């Protein structure tokens, strides 16, 4: 008699070489359950089924339609509609044979390796993958709450009804009004996001509300691709670049005599937000009170709620994992991917979650087969960002393991500040093209 | 029982998991260039079936700024010659969109 582990090893080996027809071992297939059908969960499920077609993969996801967060600020300016963000699970189901259960995980029995769901179903697993994304800590901005985010001052950082509300507020804002964006502290999902959002809204205002203004108040003193943003804002919206950021700036930077449409207040200048006053529509910062017509607060974040509930998080609210397999350092046979995981030098981005998911899928295929995963995986990140519809740039990096940590390989990581207009335009074209290619790699 | 282990080890090393690091690196291209290097896109190109010497030359041109790019120069600079060669071999062996 062979043990279950050896049996799984044999089954996986056969399946990988397609010696036996699929389903031969149906009753004893290895089972992988994935909680969360976002970028990390979907990519993981697809790439695991490609690598190990005989593994039974079930995604447990609350929503029948995924609303992609990447590119969702483009809803605010009407460049795309909410419905353009929608992605379904049809191809994952029909082409890859992945089961997608529209259900909610509510309990983990790690000893018996069972997930319990709201519908009363128990899912047994050999490996559990948790890819829950982020939870917004609304309450960490005093005076702010989920309820206020849904009715008065949306965050719109997880796309949905808050995104539509924010779009409507911007659209109906009085001429000459002010929109205030409160940027979050590190680490958070989509590092260039708050600054791209501000830029896209300033561009929209040039057409529809030319005396309007965008203020970004920030607890940080610098941010991802900061110099590229500041330069783009200078060229497009009359922003004056602070002296400390002027090194390496190209010659065409101008000192504008009148205040521009966009302003950024870093932490050292009092940008750190303290309290939100819903009644007066104002935010008190370390530097003073900022009153605005539309207030968009991007609150501090932590790993998605289910990761906290299952005990996968550390004191800071993120999930420590093995960097080869993404297996949790807290609970055996449970893996955590994407924004929720601690991935060292990698940002919390969709691209990062996508490449982590593939590495984890291959590692888990090996673990289920009873052998050793590739010990020096590689990861990548690319984030295209816009300062305007035709003004793009990017952050990009390749990562490898060094001393057990995910580290950036030596190379430039940003678009050159001296990039030509054609290059900036090309980055903007790729930004749009990527929305489609990336969604397909994750979900189709 | 021993036979079982040997059999699985042989099957694994000879097929699905061979050259896995090149495949893992190549998977990182898929977000733009498509799963298995095939993408239907207005701006981004498929790289499946690309001849290895063309792949390598293109990456060198990106590195040396002899071919205009956005992120690709930085990607090419981050990858070693060996990594580029392994990925070139991997993509050359993939069927193109027409062959599939």
- Whole-angstrom distance, CA of residue A217 vs CA of residue A201: 15
* Pairing mode of beta strands A391-402, A273-277: unpaired
- pLDDT at site A13: 42
> Chain-wide mean pLDDT for chain A?
94
Which residues on neighbouring strands pair with residue A124, listed in sequence order? A114
**Pairwise CB contact (< 8 Å): B78 & A409:** yes
| Interchain CB contacts (distance < 8 Å): A and B | 134
Tokens of A249: 């700036």
Question: Across residues A30-53, what is the average pLDDT?
Answer: 98
Question: Across residues A31-57, what is the average pLDDT?
Answer: 98
Contact in structure between A182 and A298 (CB atoms under 8 Å):
yes
Q: Collect all residues of chain A within an 8 Å Cβ-Cβ radius of residue B34.
A: 437, 440-441
**Is B23 inside a domain boundary?**
yes
Length of chain A: 444
Q: CB-based burial of residue A60 (10 Å sphere; 0-12 exposed, 13-18 middle, 19+ buried)? A: buried
Q: What separation in angstroms does the CA of A38 have from each of A35, A323, A346, B19?
A: 9, 20, 18, 29
- pLDDT at site B98: 82
Percent of chain A with pLDDT over 90: 93
Q: What is the pLDDT of residues A54-103, one digit of tens each?
A: 999 999 999 999 999 999 999 999 999 999 999 999 999 999 999 999 99
**Is B12 inside a domain boundary?**
no
* pLDDT above 70 for A165: yes
Range with lowest mean pLDDT among A381-385, A407-411, B17-21: B17-21
- Whole-angstrom distance, CA of residue A343 vs CA of residue A232: 30
A291 Rama sector, left if φ>0, alpha if ψ -120 to 50, beta otherwise: beta
- pLDDT at site A23: 40
- pLDDT at site A22: 38
- Whole-angstrom distance, CA of residue A312 vs CA of residue A229: 36
* pLDDT above 60 for B2: no
- Whole-angstrom distance, CA of residue A47 vs CA of residue B27: 9
- What value does the CA radius of gyration of chain B take, rounded to a whole number of Å? 16
| Dihedral angle over CA of B74, B80, B81, B83, nearest 10 | -100
Which pTM was predicted? Answer: 0.92
- Whole-angstrom distance, CA of residue A383 vs CA of residue B49: 26
**Nearest CA to A207 among A261, A153, A263?**
A261
Contact in structure between A23 and A119 (CB atoms under 8 Å):
no
- pLDDT at site A27: 58
Tokens of A301: 């974040």
- pLDDT at site A4: 41
* pLDDT above 90 for B73: yes
Question: Across residues A432-438, what is the average pLDDT?
Answer: 97
Report the residue of A375, A380, A433 to disrupt the B interface, i.e. the one with the largest count of B CBs within 10 Å: A380
Tokens of B28: 């990182």
**Is B5 inside a domain boundary?**
no
Domains of chain B: total = 1
Q: Where are the alpha helices (DSSP H) in A52-129?
A: 90-94
**Pairwise CB contact (< 8 Å): A374 & B75:** no
Contact in structure between B87 and B55 (CB atoms under 8 Å):
yes
Query: Does residue A366 sit at the B interface (CB-CB below 8 Å)?
Result: yes
* pLDDT above 80 for A147: yes
- Whole-angstrom distance, CA of residue B29 vs CA of residue A315: 35
Contact in structure between A130 and A340 (CB atoms under 8 Å):
yes
**Is B40 inside a domain boundary?**
yes
- How close are the terminal C-alpha atoms of chain B, in Å? 39
Question: Across residues B66-85, what is the average pLDDT?
Answer: 96
**Is B8 inside a domain boundary?**
no
**Pairwise CB contact (< 8 Å): B44 & A434:** yes
**Minimal Cα distance from B19: which residue of A?**
A374
Question: Across residues B13-36, what is the average pLDDT?
Answer: 83
A291 contact partners, CB below 8 Å, separation of at least 6:
A178, A280, A281, A282
Give the model's confidence band at B8: pLDDT under 50 very low, under 70 low, under 90 confident, else very high: very low
Range with lowest mean pLDDT among A17-21, B65-69, B80-84: A17-21
- Whole-angstrom distance, CA of residue B42 vs CA of residue B31: 15
- Whole-angstrom distance, CA of residue B51 vs CA of residue A289: 61
Domain range enclosing B26:
19-92
**Is B34 inside a domain boundary?**
yes
**Minimal Cα distance from A383: which residue of B?**
B71
**Is B68 inside a domain boundary?**
yes
> Chain-wide mean pLDDT for chain B?
86
Domains and CATH numbers, chain A: 4-135+302-374 (3.50.50.60), 139-297 (3.50.50.60)
**Is B13 inside a domain boundary?**
no
Report the residue of A14, A44, A432, A440 to disrupt the B interface, i.e. the one with the largest count of B CBs within 10 Å: A440
* pLDDT above 50 for A48: yes
Output the domain CATH number for residue B82: 1.10.760.10
Question: Across residues A35-41, what is the average pLDDT?
Answer: 98
**Minimal Cα distance from B69: which residue of A?**
A423
- pLDDT at site B19: 80
- Cβ neighbours around A349 below 10 Å, total: 24
**Nearest CA to A190 among A366, A351, A23?**
A351
**Nearest CA to A223 among A195, A250, A248, A203?**
A195
Percent of chain A with pLDDT over 70: 94
To the nearest whole angstrom, how far is the Cα of A121 from the nearest Cα of chain B? 33
- pLDDT at site B97: 83
Helices and strands counted in chain B (H then E)? 6, 0
- What value does the CA radius of gyration of chain A take, rounded to a whole number of Å? 23
Q: What is the pLDDT of residues B82-95, one digit of tens each?
A: 999 999 999 999 99
**Nearest CA to A434 among B98, B59, B58, B45?**
B45
Tell me what percent of chain A is helix, strand and coil, each rounded to the nearest 5.
35, 25, 40
Question: Across residues B46-54, what is the average pLDDT?
Answer: 98
């Amino acid at each position: 008699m062979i043990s279950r582990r050896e049996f799984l090893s044999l089954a996986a080996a056969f399946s990988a070489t397609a010696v036996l027809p699929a389903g031969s071992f149906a009753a004893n297939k290895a089972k992988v359950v994935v909680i969360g059908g976002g970028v990390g969960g979907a990519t993981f499920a697809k790439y695991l089924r490609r690598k190990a077609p005989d593994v039974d993969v079930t995604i447990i996801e609350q929503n029948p339609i995924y609303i992609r967060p990447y590119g969702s600020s483009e809803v605010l300016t009407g460049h795309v509609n909410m419905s353009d963000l929608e992605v379904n699970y049809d191809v994952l189901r029909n082409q890859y044979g992945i089961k997608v259960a529209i259900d909610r995980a509510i309990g983990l029995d790690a000893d018996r390796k069972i997930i319990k769901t709201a519908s009363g179903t128990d899912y047994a697993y050999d490996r559990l993958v948790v890819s829950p994304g982020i939870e917004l800590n609304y309450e960490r901005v005093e005076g702010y709450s989920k309820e206020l985010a849904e009715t008065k001052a949306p965050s719109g950082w997880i796309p949905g009804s808050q995104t539509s509300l924010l779009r409507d507020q911007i659209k109906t804002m009085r001429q000459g009004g002010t929109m205030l964006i409160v940027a979050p502290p590190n680490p958070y999902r989509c590092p260039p996001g708050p600054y791209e959002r501000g830029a896209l809204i300033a561009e929209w205002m040039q057409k529809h509300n030319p005396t309007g203004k965008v203020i970004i108040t920030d607890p940080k003193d610098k941010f991802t691709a900061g110099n590229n943003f500041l330069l783009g804002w200078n060229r497009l919206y009359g922003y004056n670049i602070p002296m400390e950021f002027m090194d390496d700036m190209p010659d065409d930077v101008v000192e504008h005599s009148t205040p521009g449409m966009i302003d950024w207040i870093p932490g050292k200048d009092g940008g750190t937000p303290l309290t939100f006053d819903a009644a007066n529509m104002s935010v008190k910062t370390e530097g003073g009170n900022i009153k605005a017509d539309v207030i968009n607060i991007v609150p501090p974040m932590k790993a998605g709620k289910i990761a906290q509930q299952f005990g996968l998080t550390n004191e800071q609210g993120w999930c420590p994992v093995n960097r080869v397999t993404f297996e949790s350092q807290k609970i055996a046979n449970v893996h955590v991917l994407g924004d929720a995981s601690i991935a060292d030098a990698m940002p919390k981005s969709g691209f990062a979650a996508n490449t982590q998911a593939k590495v984890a899928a291959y590692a888990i295929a090996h673990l289920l087969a009873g052998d050793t995963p590739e010990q020096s995986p590689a990861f990548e990140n690319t984030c295209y960002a816009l300062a305007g519809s035709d003004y793009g740039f990017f952050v990009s990096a390749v990562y490898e393991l060094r001393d057990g940590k995910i580290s950036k390989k030596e190379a430039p990581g940003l678009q050159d500040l001296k990039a030509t207009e054609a290059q900036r335009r090309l980055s903007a074209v790729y930004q749009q093209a990527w929305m489609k290619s990336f969604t397909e790699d994750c979900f189709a | 029982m021993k036979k079982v282990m040997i059999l699985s080890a042989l099957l694994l090393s000879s097929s699905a998991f061979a050259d896995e690091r090149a495949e893992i690196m190549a998977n990182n291209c898929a977000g733009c260039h498509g799963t298995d290097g095939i993408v239907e896109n207005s701006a981004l190109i498929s790289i499946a079936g690309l001849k290895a010497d063309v792949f390598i030359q293109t990456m060198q041109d990106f590195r040396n700024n002899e071919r205009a790019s956005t992120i690709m120069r930085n990607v090419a600079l981050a990858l070693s010659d060996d990594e580029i060669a392994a990925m070139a071999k991997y993509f050359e062996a993939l069927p193109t969109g027409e062959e599939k």
